[in-house]
Amino acid sequence: MNPPTTATPRAPINVTCPSCGERTVFGPTNPYRPFCSARCQGHDFGAWASENYRVAANGGAEPSEETPE
């Protein structure tokens, strides 16, 4: 039988908020992570919803609609 393990809590990680650039805690104490607040999280969600973020398409040919025989 293995002895019980005691998990040592990790030190909180500080990250930069992707919306405003403010330093914030990335951990269970921050429900909006990786954002610093509900406002920044909502701003980012709004940008996605209004399609401000886009993935660039590569200039390759579009798939052919022809079916092989």
Q: Does the annotation flag 29 for ligand binding?
A: no
Buried b (16+ CB within 10 A) or exposed e, 37-69: beebbeebeeeeeeeeeeeeeeeeeeeeeeeee
Q: Does the annotation flag 17 for ligand binding?
A: yes
Report DSSP letters for 12-27, one per residue: PEEEE-TTT--EEEES
Residues belonging to the binding site for Zn(2+) are 17, 20, 36, 40
